[in-house]
């Protein structure tokens, strides 16, 4: 896949989309360019044939590394894993009260969330078409619950529209759809599309647009009880002698267009965001913990790899204690599955060939920021009747996601109060965590004025400062030239991870990459 699109690099184009329209629009652009798609997983891998005690060294205990180790062990291989951190999971990571996290630059954060509250700094939802993740969750007993992507009671917000006042998603969605349907229905009725549709189809189209757009008999989208059933009422219907309901005012199409509040209306309709979407009960790292339980005895923790050397007879990795140790130790095996992110691997001494080295250098890692804020009460539910879902904004925080669990509880709750990519995230990377939190409160208060009064504590993760990845996920500068070489065995090493997949930034991509790598490794071993 070439990065150049009619004179503009994919990287620059995605950055521009992300800056202008937000993270969700950038993801849609990624999908259209082939950076994301549906999983091709068809079921558990079967590695048939005796590997005769072949040893494999796995570098990294993220989901890719643990998938490889688990399946290889089942097939009869002898496996050892070296993991940089004190625990497994990689970017499948959850922060809870009592955790301490230190970024590059010695930005140390102590998480003070109440028991049961958490933030997923990395992956936070599982699409229903990510079949491998869902299958492993089922096999390992990871309990899942619905993740609410779309909430029509949430907000869309633009600082330059409607006086900076956020608008309910349902109002913009209904009014935009209705008025577009009105324009099309009238064009059909006035026979302005005769060359495009038959007379019979035109009649059916008008009938469908009346239903779809909630149009009256004049083919108009107007203030009425019918439209209020979708966009909400000015005064809600009551019981007995109370109001029958007072219809709400329509927002003009011109105002919606000028306010650009249509940007995020279809985010939840992409294949990776369509209901049902899931999350593990208790935090995303429930998946990591389930994998870890299966391969824990194979893992050497706090192992910082400093050198990888392959040859005709095997692979040797040199490592030191990641807590500042200097004593060098080595691990040897017949083969290696390397899941270290290329952003880190490029800084490790190795003897890979020129093509693999070029592939490693070709990948840069996306910038992203996540801010989790805990509030004394769930004001979004109690004051604004928002239960799960996402509000979107043109401010640098990009969005606010409401928890899809513990509804109606009286205690404190955590909002994902900022999740930004690219240019919007850069301004957060260079400042300390407490300033990031302050910025999230500043921008978030434009949507929820209660934020400051209700704020308790927070944590902010800038992925370019995360020591074990140095970025959020891998992006290729020239995928056509280098991706195939990255997939080849080099010095008895095969690469795996989300960066070696066509589903980057997703756990599914990491797992599929690992399964593909071990399948090819097994074929090589059995064939030999």
Q: Say what the pLDDT of residue 430 is.
A: 87
| pLDDT exceeds cutoff 70 at 61 | yes
- pLDDT-derived band at 36 (thresholds 50, 70, 90) equals low
Cis peptide before 276 (omega within 30 of 0): yes
pLDDT of residue 528: 66
Q: Quote the pTM value.
A: 0.89
Give the C-alpha separation, 386 to 372, whole Å.
Answer: 18
pLDDT in the model for residue 274: 83
Q: What is the mean pLDDT of residues 180-208?
A: 87
- Asked if pLDDT for residue 89 goes beyond 60, the answer is yes
pLDDT at 51 over 50: yes
Residue of higher predicted confidence among 158 and 25 = 158
Mean pLDDT of the chain: 92
Q: Is the pLDDT of residue 22 over 90?
A: no
Is 152:384 a contact under the CB 8 Å cutoff?
no
The proportion of the chain whose per-residue pLDDT surpasses 70, expressed as a percent, equals 93
pLDDT in tens, 154-166: 999 999 999 999 9
Say yes or no to pLDDT of 25 above 80: no
Give the least confident one: 138-147, 182-191, 347-356, 357-366: 182-191
pLDDT at 122 over 50: yes
**What is the three-class DSSP state of 359?**
helix
Q: What phi-psi label fits residue 385: left (phi over 0), alpha (psi between -120 and 50 degrees) or beta?
A: left
Residue range 426-451, pLDDT digits in tens: 989 989 999 999 999 999 999 999 99
* Contact by Cβ (8 Å): 156, 268: no
Query: In this structure, are residues 495 and 314 in contact, taking their beta carbons and an 8 Å threshold?
Result: no
DSSP helix/strand/coil, 51: coil
Q: What is the mean pLDDT of residues 389-411?
A: 96
- The residues, ordered by sequence, that sit 6+ positions from 401 with a Cβ below 8 Å of its Cβ are 124, 389, 390, 415, 416, 419
Q: How far is the C-alpha of 300 from the C-alpha of 368, rounded, in Å? A: 29
Average of per-residue pLDDT across 244-258: 94
User: What pLDDT, on a 0 to 100 scale, did the predictor assign at position 238?
Assistant: 87
| SS3 (DSSP) at 417 | strand
Closest CA to 493 of 332, 309, 305, 335: 335
pLDDT for res 172: 96
Residue 192, pLDDT score: 80
Mean pLDDT of 98-110: 94
DSSP for 467-525, please give it.
Answer: TTTSSSSEEESSHHHHHHHHHS-BTTEEE-SGGGSSSTTSHHHHHHHHHHHHHHHHHHH
pLDDT, one tens digit per residue, over 477-526 is 999 999 999 999 999 999 999 999 999 999 999 999 999 999 999 999 99
- Taking residues 50-63, what's their average pLDDT? 97
CA distance 204 to 237: 33
Taken in order of first residue, the domains within the chain and their CATH numbers are 4-85+291-364+475-527 (3.50.50.60), 95-124+367-465 (3.90.660.10), 169-258 (1.20.1440.240)
Across 334-454, where does the E strand assignment appear? 335-338, 349-350, 363-365, 368-375, 390-393, 399-401, 413-421
CB of 378 within 8 A of CB of 456?
no
């Amino acid at each position: 896949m070439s990065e150049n699109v009619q004179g503009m690099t994919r990287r620059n184009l995605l950055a521009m989309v992300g800056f202008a329209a937000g993270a969700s629009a950038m993801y849609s652009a990624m999908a259209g360019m082939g950076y994301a798609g549906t999983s091709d997983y068809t079921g558990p891998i079967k590695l048939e044939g005796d590997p005769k005690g072949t040893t494999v060294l796995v570098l990294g205990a993220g989901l890719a590394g643990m998938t490889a180790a688990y399946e290889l062990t089942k097939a009869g291989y002898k496996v050892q894993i070296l993991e940089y951190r004190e625990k497994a999971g990689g970017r499948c990571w959850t922060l809870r009260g009592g955790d301490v996290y230190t970024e590059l630059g010695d930005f140390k954060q102590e998480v003070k969330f109440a028991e049961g509250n958490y933030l997923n700094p990395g992956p936070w939802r599982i699409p229903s078409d990510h079949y491998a993740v869902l299958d492993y969750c089922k096999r390992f007993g990871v309990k899942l619950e619905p993740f609410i992507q779309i909430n029509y009671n949430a907000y869309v917000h633009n600082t330059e529209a409607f006086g900076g006042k956020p608008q309910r998603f349902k109002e913009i969605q209904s009014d935009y759809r209705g008025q577009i349907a009105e324009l099309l229905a009238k064009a059909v009725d006035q026979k302005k599309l005769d060359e495009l549709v038959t007379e019979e189809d035109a009649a059916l189209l008008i009938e469908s647009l009346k239903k779809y757009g909630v149009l009256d008999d004049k083919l108009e989208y107007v203030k009425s009880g019918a439209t209020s059933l979708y966009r909400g009422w000015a005064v809600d219907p009551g019981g007995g002698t109370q109001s029958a309901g007072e219809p709400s005012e329509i927002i003009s199409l011109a105002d919606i267009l000028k306010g650009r509040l249509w940007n995020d209306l279809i985010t939840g309709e992409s294949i990776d965001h369509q209901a049902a979407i899931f999350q593990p009960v208790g935090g995303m790292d429930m998946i990591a913990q389930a994998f870890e339980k299966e391969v824990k005895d194979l893992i050497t923790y706090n192992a910082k790899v400093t050198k990888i050397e392959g040859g005709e007879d095997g692979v040797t990795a040199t490592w030191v204690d990641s807590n500042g140790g200097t004593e060098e130790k080595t691990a040897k095996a017949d083969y290696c599955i390397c899941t270290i992110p290329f952003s880190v691997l490029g800084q490790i001494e190795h003897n890979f060939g020129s093509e693999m080295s070029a592939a490693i250098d070709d990948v840069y890692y996306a910038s992203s920021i996540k801010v989790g804020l805990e509030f004394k009460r769930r004001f979004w539910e109690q004051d604004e009747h928002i239960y799960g879902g996402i509000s979107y904004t043109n401010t640098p925080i990009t969005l606010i996601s409401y928890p899809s669990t513990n509804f109606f509880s009286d205690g404190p709750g955590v909002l994902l109060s900022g999740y930004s990519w690219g240019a919007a995230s850069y301004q957060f990377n260079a400042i300390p965590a407490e300033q990031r939190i302050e910025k999230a409160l500043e921008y978030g208060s434009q949507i929820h004025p209660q934020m400051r009064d209700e704020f308790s504590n927070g944590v902010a993760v800038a992925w370019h400062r995360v020591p074990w990845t140095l970025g959020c996920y891998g992006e290729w500068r020239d995928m056509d030239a280098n991706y195939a070489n990255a997939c080849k065995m080099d010095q008895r090493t095969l690469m795996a991870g989300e960066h070696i997949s066509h589903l980057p930034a997703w756990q599914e991509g990491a797992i599929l990459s690992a399964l593909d790598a071990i399948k090819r490794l097994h074929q090589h071993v059995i064939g030999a």
